[in-house]
Amino acid sequence: MKLQHLAIIFVLIIVPISLVMSSYIQNQIEAINMQTKYDMNLISSTYDAVKAFQINTTNNKYSSISDSKIRDIEASVSTFYNSLISSMSEFASREEAEDYVPAMLFTLYDGYYIYSSFDNVYSTTGEGGNEKVDINLDSKNYQKGLQPYVYYSAKYKLRNGNVITVNYTLDNAITVYGDFGDGEGYVTRTGYLINPDNVEIHDTYITYNGVRIEPEILTEHLITIEDNETKRTKEDDYRYIFYQNEKIYQDYDENGNLAYNEDGTPRIFWYHDYMKTYINDPYIRNYAKTCNMRSMSAIEYYARAKEFSDWVKEKLGGITQADTLKVEDGTTPIGNDTEYLAENTGNSPIFEVGKNNDPLVSDSIFNNHRLAIIRKSIETSLNTVISKFRAVTLYDYAMPVIDNEDWYKILNNISMVTFMQGIPMGYRYYNNYAVITNNVNKEVVKAENIYIVTEDTATGKNREYHQPGCKELISGVNDGTLRIVGAYPTASFQRQSVKRNDNQEDDLHFYLQAVEGDTLTGCYNCIVNSTADYDTDDIIEGIDLIDFENKVENGGSGSISFKSNNSAYMQVRAAYLKALARERYDIYKSNFDLEANR
Amino acid sequence: MGDSLITVVAIFLAAILMFVFPLMSLAERTDDVSQLAVQTATTELVDRVRTTGKLTLTDYDAFVSELASTGNTFDIEILIQELDENPGVKTTQAEATKIGENLYYNKYTTQVLDELDTKGRKILKEGDIITVTVKNTNQTISQMLRNFFYMISGNDSYQIVGQHSGVVSVNGSTSER
């Protein structure tokens, strides 16, 4: 054979191979590009949904009541679909998009909702009496909706064989219920778990880990509609306290002095629908008088938490992870199965709180166990929901594996997780999820959700808010140029709106913390540039502050910026711990009424 | 004489066909695969920053080694735009309905890397924008072979490129643990 012939045969063989190869790789590249696009769409739609939830809840006084919450979540689901449909040309309607979204998970403070498909068929008994009618479920019988609320709970078997239940939350609050078998009968108790040895109770104040906590005056700026007919508005700063998770403000008289009723109690009001709703309930009035319109929340928080923690220690002290009952059947303890929970806490007693197991510290035994329980609960529910979803799809669908970093986000803040799958993409199907955490909410007060407000010492003006770990803040206080005026949750720094009529241009806007007619701006170091120099956990524990740059694990010299006994550091820490305790105490918690009536 | 000339030409052509052509085709596929890997890695990095609000040195190092695994060298450009909602430091942001008040400060690769080096992380907040662009700086085999036949001159003679950007959706957590 001639060389030319060989060459032609070679070309004949190699060209088709090369063409197929190139088309295959091209296809893969397109698939990746599509995947990128779908990922982007999923993330931004989820973000829109979270934003909708934020807007709906921060402007809604009743957002913590479950009926209202369900409504807010359903609104958020609608937002998700609207956003998805408008960004993806693949979907023409919400119904069409719903086929590709197997589940949406909303994790909240003490439990979670899952939005998914479920069969809405009542299982009836047949003619024979006991036999069940076998209903053939085709896809028409499936509906989309919010599943019942699931608490982050776990059951434990006590030494005496009794079973008790513990409900966890995203922070250190727990609810314990069950019969301990000690003659007290069925007990339900709720409270915050802390290290009780840190708290010392005195007459008018308490100390927590060296920080003195006293009643404090809180102020907020409000725009109120004084006259509903003319829509005349008034802007002023008001002192407030919390009473049963609602803010109560004290009004002023005509001369601008604090107003009192004839019986000497403060003239107080709720801020409802932008109007002042005056409170006539003598019980609330007397409460306001007794505390002299100073917030006792931080003191109450630590005092009650101490009492509760001592109780928990006594009753549940011996429980280890081996006593946890499996979620699947609720009767068998997990025993030596160290793989069952994501975090293995071994034989350490979970509720034996103390210096070595401080629930406020992120990596304590209690916290590790709590996160593992929440994760197990969510995993089990999601698996159930997603296996049901497989029934309505034509192909095999498995839940995507959620990686550890995403679990960390889910378990540490209220968040929304959306799953999307099944969109054809080259030779395969799209299957991914998006996790977006909710920064601004009234559900949970995370360690980083507190801002500290300062003003210039010299002028008493120029208010700025900082993160607790901000270098500018601590050095400003240290050299005397800044003075701390208070600490408030991040939600208090969100813009509030007053709606006067249907015309949006007539809306008024204000900021709760912009008091005394002063400016209020975010610190350029920590808020705008988001440079956190010191670890918030270090501040909670009260150990020496080391700049991140100087931390030994970051290759620094380990030189200390502020000693634990530095007075500026102590001031910042006191303001921070006080605000954290106060805000945690004041958020709405469904079971805490029980505790109040004890 | 004529025959031997044709034979020489035939050998030359056959060499190109049987050696250079498959090599070029293979080299280009390799670049396509590298392109795929680079684009995926870039997207993953940016999306991670967008959903966690944090760029850590660990993530960055993992990204760099993932790029290196394609066998090429890369120039990585990171642009972080930090949102300032209140640039005038005006009274209480009362005019927050006003459009166009938002300003972005740019931070470029060296500044970001500097912060990563000293602090081990760069925290971002909701509203910031991150853009990552990756271009190869070496000559890939396919580029070399192509230059053998025809030259493309100029600065932007890269073959593999990955780019992704997006708005950060959460405030980065300030706690290490």
What angle, 0 to 180 degrees and rounded to 10, lies between the N-to-C axes of helices A404-412 and B21-52? 20
Best of B174, B176, B177 to substitute, by most chain A Cβ atoms within 10 angstroms, is: B174
Does some domain include residue B38? yes
- Of the candidates B17, B123, B169, which has its C-beta nearest A43's C-beta? B169
Which two structure tokens, joined as six digits, stand for A143? Answer: 């509906």
- Taking CB atoms and an 8 Å cutoff, what residues of chain A touch B21? 11, 14
- Taking CB atoms and an 8 Å cutoff, what residues of chain B touch A530? 53, 82, 123-125, 128, 171-172
Check CB contact under 8 Å for A439 and B126: yes
- Whether residue B59 contacts residue B47, with contact meaning beta carbons closer than 8 Å, is answered with no
CA-nearest of A154, A198, A151, A105 to A366 is: A154
- At CB < 8 A and 24+ separation, what contacts does A198-204 make? A198/A358, A199/A302, A199/A303, A199/A305, A199/A306, A201/A303, A201/A306
ipTM over 0.90? The verdict is no
Collapse the DSSP code of A368 into the 3-class scheme (helix H, G, I; strand E, B; otherwise coil) and give the result. Answer: helix
Q: Is the pLDDT of residue B45 over 90?
A: yes
DSSP state of A61: T
DSSP state of A216: B
Q: Which range is least confidently modeled, A407-421, B18-32, B78-92?
A: B78-92
The shortest C-alpha distance from B89 to chain A (Å) reads 6
Within A177-295, where are the H helices? 282-290
Check CB contact under 8 Å for B7 and A7: no
pLDDT at A595: 62
Tell me which residues of chain A, numbers 535 to 554, contact chain B at a CB-CB cutoff of 8 Å.
Answer: 535-537, 548-549, 551, 553-554
pLDDT at A253: 86
Name the closest residue on chain A to residue B162, using Cα atoms. A33
Rounded Cα gap, residues A40 and A188, in angstroms: 45
- Taking CB atoms and an 8 Å cutoff, what residues of chain A touch B28? 22
The shortest C-alpha distance from A510 to chain B (Å) reads 6
A363/B contact by beta carbon, under 8 A: yes
Which two structure tokens, joined as six digits, stand for A315? Answer: 């009753």
- Of the candidates B21, B85, B175, which has its C-beta nearest A448's C-beta? B175
Check CB contact under 8 Å for A530 and B39: no
- Of the candidates B48, B93, B123, which has its C-beta nearest A532's C-beta? B123
Q: Helix, strand, coil proportions of chain B in percent (round to 5)?
A: 50, 20, 30
Within A88-199, where are the H helices? 94-98
- Whether residue A482 contacts residue A454, with contact meaning beta carbons closer than 8 Å, is answered with yes
pLDDT at A104: 93
CA-nearest of A533, A526, A471 to B118 is: A533
Looking at residues B93-106, what average pLDDT do you find? Answer: 63
Which two structure tokens, joined as six digits, stand for A572? Answer: 């910042």
User: One-letter amino acid identity for A55?
Assistant: I
- Of the candidates B90, B171, B175, which has its C-beta nearest A535's C-beta? B175
Place B99 in a pLDDT band, splitting at 50, 70 and 90.
Answer: very low
pLDDT at A575: 92
- Of the candidates B94, B120, B123, which has its C-beta nearest A530's C-beta? B123
Total of domains in chain B = 1
Rounded Cα gap, residues B5 and B12, in angstroms: 11
CA-nearest of A192, A112, A196 to A376 is: A112
DSSP state of A85: H
Question: What is the phi/psi pair of residue B153, to 5°?
Answer: -105, 170
- Taking CB atoms and an 8 Å cutoff, what residues of chain B touch A360? none
Rounded Cα gap, residues A444 and A584, in angstroms: 7
CA-nearest of B101, B118, B77, B17 to A550 is: B118
A412/B contact by beta carbon, under 8 A: yes
Q: Which residues pair with A384 in a beta bridge?
A: none
Per-residue model confidence as pLDDT tens for chain A (598 residues): 677 788 788 878 888 888 898 888 888 888 888 988 999 899 999 999 999 988 888 766 666 666 788 888 999 999 999 999 999 888 888 888 888 888 999 998 889 999 988 776 665 655 555 555 555 555 556 678 888 899 999 999 988 888 999 999 988 899 998 888 888 888 888 889 998 998 898 888 899 888 888 898 999 988 888 888 888 888 888 999 988 778 889 998 888 888 888 888 889 998 888 888 898 888 889 888 888 889 888 898 899 999 999 999 988 888 888 888 888 887 888 888 888 888 888 888 999 988 888 888 878 899 899 999 999 999 999 888 887 776 556 667 778 888 888 888 888 888 999 999 888 888 888 889 999 988 777 778 888 888 999 998 888 888 888 988 888 899 999 998 999 988 998 888 877 778 888 887 778 888 888 887 777 888 888 888 887 778 888 888 888 888 877 877 777 788 888 888 888 898 999 999 999 999 888 887 666 655 655 5
Does some domain include residue B130? yes
User: One-letter amino acid identity for A378?
Assistant: I
- Of the candidates B93, B118, B174, which has its C-beta nearest A467's C-beta? B174
Which two structure tokens, joined as six digits, stand for A279? Answer: 């409170």
Alpha carbon distances (Å) from A346 to A160, A174, A334, A427:
21, 21, 12, 45
Rounded Cα gap, residues A484 and A64, in angstroms: 31
Looking at residues B84-107, what average pLDDT do you find? Answer: 64
Rounded Cα gap, residues A454 and A474, in angstroms: 11
Instruction: Please enumerate in sequence order all residues whose Cβ is within 8 A of that of A480, keeping only pairs 6 or more positions apart, or say none.
Output: A457
Which two structure tokens, joined as six digits, stand for A114? Answer: 């899952």
CA atoms within 13 A on the CB side of B151: 3
B43/A contact by beta carbon, under 8 A: yes
Check CB contact under 8 Å for A510 and B177: no
Collapse the DSSP code of A256 into the 3-class scheme (helix H, G, I; strand E, B; otherwise coil) and give the result. Answer: coil
The shortest C-alpha distance from B52 to chain A (Å) reads 8
Pairing of strands A111-119, A150-157: antiparallel
A508/B contact by beta carbon, under 8 A: no
The helix/strand count (H/E) of chain A reads as: 11, 23
- Whether residue B84 contacts residue B104, with contact meaning beta carbons closer than 8 Å, is answered with yes
User: One-letter amino acid identity for A97?
Assistant: A
Check CB contact under 8 Å for A405 and B52: yes
- Domain range spanning residue B121? 2-167
Q: Which residues pair with A178 in a beta bridge?
A: A164, A187
- Of the candidates A2, A36, A519, which has its C-beta nearest B90's C-beta? A519
Instruction: Please enumerate in sequence order all residues whose Cβ is within 8 A of that of A16, keeping only pairs 6 or more positions apart, or say none.
Output: none
Q: Is the pLDDT of residue B174 over 60?
A: yes
Q: How many CB pairs under 8 A join A and B?
A: 145
- ∠ CA A291-A293-A298, nearest 5°, is 65
- Whether residue A427 contacts residue A155, with contact meaning beta carbons closer than 8 Å, is answered with no
pTM recorded for the entire structure: 0.84
Check CB contact under 8 Å for A532 and B174: yes
Check CB contact under 8 Å for B47 and A519: no
Q: Which residues of A217-244 are buried (b: 16+ CB within 10 A; e: fewer)?
A: ebbbbbbbbeeeeeeebeeebbbbbbbe
- Whether residue A347 contacts residue A323, with contact meaning beta carbons closer than 8 Å, is answered with no
Rounded Cα gap, residues A320 and A157, in angstroms: 10
Does some domain include residue B134? yes
Does some domain include residue B175? no
- Whether residue B84 contacts residue B93, with contact meaning beta carbons closer than 8 Å, is answered with no
pLDDT at A226: 86
- ∠ CA A491-A298-A245, nearest 5°, is 55
pLDDT at A499: 81
Does some domain include residue B117? yes
Check CB contact under 8 Å for A530 and B124: yes
Does some domain include residue B176? no
Rounded Cα gap, residues B93 and A396, in angstroms: 53
Does some domain include residue B174? no
Collapse the DSSP code of B118 into the 3-class scheme (helix H, G, I; strand E, B; otherwise coil) and give the result. Answer: helix
CA-nearest of A181, A224, A282 to A496 is: A224
- CA A169 from centroid of its chain's CA atoms: 9
Kindly compute the dihedral angle of the four CA atoms of residues A369, A372, A373, A379, in this order, to the nearest 10 degrees: 180
Rounded Cα gap, residues A39 and A43, in angstroms: 6
B97/A contact by beta carbon, under 8 A: yes
- Of the candidates A18, A514, A553, which has its C-beta nearest B25's C-beta? A18
Pairing of strands A232-243, A246-250: antiparallel
Kindly compute the dihedral angle of the four CA atoms of residues B49, B53, B58, B62, in this order, to the nearest 10 degrees: -10
